[in-house]
Structure 1
């Protein structure tokens, strides 16, 4: 099936465009349902508007409002689309959905309802109404070739739309989550050539396209010397939309009722408290009290839960949105000063330790895990990295527990997981033989357990600041030692 012509101004999103094109031009009979979700500012609306423009489809963007107002707006927009002399009047959503299905009587056509959660907030019965409208053997559904696409940014709501006993479960034939750009694509999108600067920019704004185009007005750091001035004139400037964006991200989620509590949980994680006990201690609460807020934040896509690959009962949490990490680690402690100062240079200089330790370091580790899992050369580890995570290994002889930044498992024919790599990631520290010796010690401890086939695991040093000559020489002599620098992390496989 030939894909629709890709808009010239679209950056990347090839996979998403092909998938939407195939869904919107499916030759099969009958109306179909699709769901498109993803965090705000990822370009979902751009994709869907472009799809409708390329196919002559119908696009409707919902607003926050009453049920009656939304029906009136839909009638007006639909009439304008069809060139009708007056707005259509819909008494109920039953007749409105049937009118949308009728758009596809003569040909396959995409029909987009954007910001769908706004409509459901005003009328919780809407998913059930759509379920009934798309029931098998219903004439309005069978004679239509409408490709109905429901889109939304409220991740907790969209994630439940097709799950469990939800009305639309089993009705949708298409589901697309529009992700953020990874660090390689983000560097290309922001047009930052210096790799260290690219990673620092990524640690602040992540891979959200709108942060460059709309929020920063295409302002990118011109080079390493321009990074600090760029931070001051964008994310730390009260006149920039980036300044308050992290706060708005939480306010946009309808499931977050007690914003103070959720901000405090995020602040605890940003301060380095990755386990539930540490978060509880930071908040002065019992560990059991955090089950609900942590689950809600995870459902919203604001935090990620990462089980310890070596300990079934140990879980760490990390913030999934870099701008939220930057806000809580750097901006929130000095928020009042940032709002009122004429020049934030000194405030930014005083925040360098928090930026390096609480933002850059953890972000670099996550980039390394993502790279090993999805972007590394296929032959780097001698096997496909089926599972990549973090782990803790007890060292009883030295009475310490070793934190392992990158742990990669393969997958053999018996569904067992052989350990194929152990890695350590250091952003601002030149890596040397001491780091390699630590990895060798961890490998020996795991090999002694005789559980993971650890004796053959490769040892990977991820160095944001490079490697000593001694470590480079050791890697040259031992093919089981792998050095990964910034150039490797940004090189397309």
Structure 2
């Protein structure tokens, strides 16, 4: 199924319809929908869609030769080298638009390392209208391909990093779920299309978790392990770091101590690599004036699937190997709603930022003080509290926010309360209070706007 990639699809079509040589690079994490997007974009056009595999270079060249022969009706044609094969396609595209998609390009280069240099030479010297698209699910590989030392550096005419779909579009994949269940599913999958497509909306979230992660042969039972093994060396150290992060060890010293490193500086390269892969992010209190120099930053798992898996699956793999899912179920019953609240807060900040047009938004923490939402728009501050629970927000919750504001030392222009279910009728609602809830049927709703002075 293909949903909500209109902007990305139009971008690709613009390059495909050009009368010039185009060299486009598309990349993104595994299962994010790159191949589906490309197939939709090239549908009805003339060209070759070739997918790399982990086989020998000669096997891949033979398979590519067959695709060239099929397209141009050259029965039994073979090529002695990749240079000959690619040059032939480039020259065939001299007078007509022909696309050439090389998907899972990292496997092609793994088998034939000369490919980037061949492409550089052809792009530089061949007069052609070819639409060359390189695609890969290996983030680390593509980052190197785009780097200064790469043979193809400076040759691309466009590129796109394909991200997961946004929360508000997840209901296209799971139309039978209400927005509360959508938030739970999104907190697990992070909007990766293939993961969303695996959910069965006729089943509860709990039953889907069992089917997708815990049961024998579950499709996502080892998904993060596969991604790490594809991208990184020394996966054991990365796994230990991710498990520590999943259980709340967020500062370098705490992480190092948890995984048995005596020097926290030794884990910095690992954290850097995880950040490059968009699995981890460094978070800094939004009020910090110089975020580059501050030491108040913490590290969190930003990829929801990894957050879920390292919190609820990885620590219990030894039980799951013997079909014992009870320890995981027990942990889910105790901690899953709190786990979802992290994503709920994040999505609330995204919604508020797009609605109110903040210059910056984030959260704040210092010692025992935590504030879920702090936004700034020009010279005005906004602070807020999020509650992912099955009880309405009360006056007590609002009073708590007032106390936090005094400890923060910033006088906000607006107080924001964000609720899963709603608000008590006796809430003392002033003009400078904004009320937002995630309605089961309608999604984000503003119950009351803030009146600013």
TM-score (norm 2): 0.89
Work out the CA distance in 2 between the residues paired with 1:492 and 1:172.
43
Matched residue, 2:450: none
Task: Return closer, same or farther for 1:433/1:273 CA change in 2, 3 Å cut-off.
Answer: farther
- How many aligned positions are there? 438
Task: Return closer, same or farther for 1:492/1:464 CA change in 2, 3 Å cut-off.
Answer: closer
1:246 counterpart (224, 242, 249): 224
Work out the CA distance in 2 between the residues paired with 1:33 and 1:119.
17
1:121 counterpart (110, 114, 131): 110
| 1:53-100 deviation per Cα after TM superposition (whole angstroms, max 9, x unaligned) | 321222111112333333222212221222211132132x33333223
Matched residue, 2:399: 437
Within-5 A mapping of 1:202-351 = 202-213=186-197, 216=198, 219-222=200-203, 226-253=204-231, 256-285=232-261, 286-311=263-288, 312=291, 313=294, 314-341=296-323, 344=325, 347-351=328-332
Work out the CA distance in 2 between the residues paired with 1:351 and 1:14.
36
Work out the CA distance in 1 between the residues paired with 2:370 and 2:252.
17
Within-5 A mapping of 1:8-407 = 10-27=2-19, 29=20, 31-91=21-81, 93-135=82-124, 138=125, 140=126, 143-213=127-197, 216=198, 219-222=200-203, 226-253=204-231, 256-285=232-261, 286-311=263-288, 312=291, 313=294, 314-341=296-323, 344=325, 347-357=328-338, 359-374=339-354, 377=355, 381=356, 384-393=357-366, 400-407=367-374
Runs of 4+ with deviation above 4 angstroms: none
Task: Return closer, same or farther for 1:308/1:52 CA change in 2, 3 Å cut-off.
Answer: same
Query: Unmatched 5+ residue regions in structure 1?
Result: 1-8, 394-399, 413-417, 449-453
Work out the CA distance in 2 between the residues paired with 1:101 and 1:246.
38
Work out the CA distance in 2 between the residues paired with 1:221 and 1:419.
46
Aligned-residue CA RMSD (Å): 2.5
| 1:27-66 deviation per Cα after TM superposition (whole angstroms, max 9, x unaligned) | 3x3x121110111111111111232332122211111233
Work out the CA distance in 1 between the residues paired with 2:413 and 2:226.
44
| 1:421-474 deviation per Cα after TM superposition (whole angstroms, max 9, x unaligned) | 22222223643334333433444455x5xxxxx53432222222433334xx32
TM-score (norm 1): 0.82
Deviation at 1:147, TM superposition (A): 1.2
Matched residue, 1:4: none
Task: Return closer, same or farther for 1:123/1:420 CA change in 2, 3 Å cut-off.
Answer: farther
Matched residue, 1:3: none
Task: Return closer, same or farther for 1:386/1:165 CA change in 2, 3 Å cut-off.
Answer: farther
**Contact between 2:16 and 2:131, CA under 8 Å: does it hold in 1?**
yes
| 1:316-353 deviation per Cα after TM superposition (whole angstroms, max 9, x unaligned) | 222232222111111122222223226x3574134322
Query: Unmatched 5+ residue regions in structure 2?
Result: 447-453
Deviation at 1:315, TM superposition (A): 1.9
| 1:103-161 deviation per Cα after TM superposition (whole angstroms, max 9, x unaligned) | 422222321110111222234443233222212xx2x1xx3111111101111221332
Work out the CA distance in 1 between the residues paired with 2:274 and 2:77.
41
